[in-house]
C-alpha cells in the first residue's frame, strides 16, 4: 500500500492548530488575571478614610465599563482578521471625526483647560483612546498594501505619515501631548515591524524630537514635569508632591506591603490613586512582592501573546497588527510604571487593565479581543508545514 504523503503535513498542521488554541486560551487566562487584579485594586484604591458608599460607586462604575469592554471584546474576537484589514480606513475616519468633534464647543467637554472628552448626559468617551487601535490598524493595512513601494521616498513615506500626523496633530491641539507621543510610539512600532526603511526612522526622529521639544517648552506646565523629574533625583524635597507621595507609598510597603486596603497614601495624599497612580497603591499595600508579581504577569502576558503569532508570516497584516497592538499595551503598562516610580515625567497615561477608567479600560479590553481575532489564522498554519 503506497504511503499517504499528505498525512504527515495534515497531522503537523493539526498539532500546530491545537497548540495555537492552547496558547490563545492561556493568553486569555492571563488577561483575565490582570483584569481581575485591576478590579480588586480599584476597589482598594477607592476606599476612603471614613466608611462611605464612595468606593462602591467607583467599583460599580468600573464593573460596568468592564462588562461593556468584555462584551465588545468577545464580539471583536469572533470577527475574522480580514474584517480589520478592510474596515481599518473607515474605523480611522470615524476616529478622526470624533477627534474633531471634541474641539467643537458644545460637543467637546473641557476639564482643567483640556478638551479631550465627548460627554452627552451620562455617556462620556475619550476619542484619543480609540486612536490607539484605529491608527495602528490603518498603518498595518497600508504597509501590507504598499509593501512593494516602501523603499521609495514619496510613495513609501507620505501616504503612511499622513494619518500619523493627522491623528497626532489633533490630539496635540486638545492638548494631550502624552497621548500624542504614545500614538507616535505605537506608529513607530508598526512601521518597524512592517519593514519601513531605517533611513526614514532617522529622518523622522531628526524632525520629531525637536518638534516635541518645542511643544514641551511652549507650555510651562509640561516643562515643569521634566524639571520635577530631575529634581526628584537631585533633591527629593524639591520633587513634585504627587511623585514624592508615590515613592513614599513604595517605601511604606516594604517587601510584603501593609495589607490590601490598609494603605494610607490614597487618603488624600496621592492624587489619582485609582487611575494614573494605582501602581503606587499596589506597592504600598502589597509591597515589592506585589509589584514584581504584576510586572511578571505583564511579561508573561507579552511572551504568550508573541507565541500566538509564532506561525504567522512576518510580512502578514495579522502579524504586524497583532504584535503592534500587543507591544503597545505592554509599553503603556511599562510607561505607567516608569512614571509612578519617577523614571519618567508624568504623562497622564493610565495603567492598562488595572487603572480605573472608562474609555481607557474599554479600549484596552477591546484591543485584547482584536489581538485574539488576528491570531486566528488557521490556513497559513497548514501552509507553513506543507
Which CA distances in Å does 286 have to 41, 43, 261, 289? 10, 14, 9, 7
Whole-number Å distance between alpha carbons of 238 and 280: 20
Per-block mean pLDDT, blocks of 10 residues, the chain (386 long): 48 52 91 92 71 62 90 95 95 95 81 74 82 96 91 86 93 87 93 91 84 74 78 79 86 88 76 82 92 96 95 93 96 93 85 88 96 76 34
Tell me the helix, strand and coil percentages in the chain, rounded to 5: 70, 5, 25
Whole-number Å distance between alpha carbons of 145 and 133: 19
The conformation of residue 236, written as its DSSP 8-state character, comes to: G
Quick one: residue 101, left, alpha or beta (phi over 0 = left, psi -120 to 50 = alpha)? alpha
Domain-embedded: residue 2: no
Which CA distances in Å does 290 have to 35, 41, 235, 252, 293? 15, 11, 28, 13, 5
Domain-embedded: residue 10: no
- The whole domain housing 179 covers 21-380
Whole-number Å distance between alpha carbons of 136 and 188: 9
Q: Torsions phi, psi of 271, nearest 5?
A: -65, 155
Domain-embedded: residue 219: yes
What's the confidence (pLDDT) of residue 17? 47
Domain-embedded: residue 293: yes
What's the confidence (pLDDT) of residue 121? 67
What's the confidence (pLDDT) of residue 48? 59
- Is the distance from CB of 356 to CB of 362 less than 8 angstroms? no
What's the confidence (pLDDT) of residue 380? 44
Domain-embedded: residue 72: yes
What's the confidence (pLDDT) of residue 118? 83
Cis peptide leading into residue 175 (ω within 30°): yes
How many domains would you assign to the chain? 1
Exposed/middle/buried for 128, CB within 10 Å: 0-12, 13-18, 19+?
buried
What's the confidence (pLDDT) of residue 16? 47
Q: Which of 351, 367, 357, 359 is nearest to 62 (CA)?
A: 357
Whole-number Å distance between alpha carbons of 71 and 59: 18
Domain-embedded: residue 7: no
Domain-embedded: residue 1: no
Question: Does the reported pTM lie above 0.75?
Answer: yes
Q: What confidence tens digit (pLDDT) does each residue in 272-291 have?
A: 777 888 898 999 999 999 99
Whole-number Å distance between alpha carbons of 347 and 276: 9
Whole-number Å distance between alpha carbons of 261 and 340: 19
- Other CB atoms within 10 A of residue 6 CB: 9
Whole-number Å distance between alpha carbons of 366 and 78: 12
Whole-number Å distance between alpha carbons of 155 and 254: 55
3-state secondary structure of 125: strand
Domain-embedded: residue 11: no
What's the confidence (pLDDT) of residue 56? 61
Amino acid at each position: 500500500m503506497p504511503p499517504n504523503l499528505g498525512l504527515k503535513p495534515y497531522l503537523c498542521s493539526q498539532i500546530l492548530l491545537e497548540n495555537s488554541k492552547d496558547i490563545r486560551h492561556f493568553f486569555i487566562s492571563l488577561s483575565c488575571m490582570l483584569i481581575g487584579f485591576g478590579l480588586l485594586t480599584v476597589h482598594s484604591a477607592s476606599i476612603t478614610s471614613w466608611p462611605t458608599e464612595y468606593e462602591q460607586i467607583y467599583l460599580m462604575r468600573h464593573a460596568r465599563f468592564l462588562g461593556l469592554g468584555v462584551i465588545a471584546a468577545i464580539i471583536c474576537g469572533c470577527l475574522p482578521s480580514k474584517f480589520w484589514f478592510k474596515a481599518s480606513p473607515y474605523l480611522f475616519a470615524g476616529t478622526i471625526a470624533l477627534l474633531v468633534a471634541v474641539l467643537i464647543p458644545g460637543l467637546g467637554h473641557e476639564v482643567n483647560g483640556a478638551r479631550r472628552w465627548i460627554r452627552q448626559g451620562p455617556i462620556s468617551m475619550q476619542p484619543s483612546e480609540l486612536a490607539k487601535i484605529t491608527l495602528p490598524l490603518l498603518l498595518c493595512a497600508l504597509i501590507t498594501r504598499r509593501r512593494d513601494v516602501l523603499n521609495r521616498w514619496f510613495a513609501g513615506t507620505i501616504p503612511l505619515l499622513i494619518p500619523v500626523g493627522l491623528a497626532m496633530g489633533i490630539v496635540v491641539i486638545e492638548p494631550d501631548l502624552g497621548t500624542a507621543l504614545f500614538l507616535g510610539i505605537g506608529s513607530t512600532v508598526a512601521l518597524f515591524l512592517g519593514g519601513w526603511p531605517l533611513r526614514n526612522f532617522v529622518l523622522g526622529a531628526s524632525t520629531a524630537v525637536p518638534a516635541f521639544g518645542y511643544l514641551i517648552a511652549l507650555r510651562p506646565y509640561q516643562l515643569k514635569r521634566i524639571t520635577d523629574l530631575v529634581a526628584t533625583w537631585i533633591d527629593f524635597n524639591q520633587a513634585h508632591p504627587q511623585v514624592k507621595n508615590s515613592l513614599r507609598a513604595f517605601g511604606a510597603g516594604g517587601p510584603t506591603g501593609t495589607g490590601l486596603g490598609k494603605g494610607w497614601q490614597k487618603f488624600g495624599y496621592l492624587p489619582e490613586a485609582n487611575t494614573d497612580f494605582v501602581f503606587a497603591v499596589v506597592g504600598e499595600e502589597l509591597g515589592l512582592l506585589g509589584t514584581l508579581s504584576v510586572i511578571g504577569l505583564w511579561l508573561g502576558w507579552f511572551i504568550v501573546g508573541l507565541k500566538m503569532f509564532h506561525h504567522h508570516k512576518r510580512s502578514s497584516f495579522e502579524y504586524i497588527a497583532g504584535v503592534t497592538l500587543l507591544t503597545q499595551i505592554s509599553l503603556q503598562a511599562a510607561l505607567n510604571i516608569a512614571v509612578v516610580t519617577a523614571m519618567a515625567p508624568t504623562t497622564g497615561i493610565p495603567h492598562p487593565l488595572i487603572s480605573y477608567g472608562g474609555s481607557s479600560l474599554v479600549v484596552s479590553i477591546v484591543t485584547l479581543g482584536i489581538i485574539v481575532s488576528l491570531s486566528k489564522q488557521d490556513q497559513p498554519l497548514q501552509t507553513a508545514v506543507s
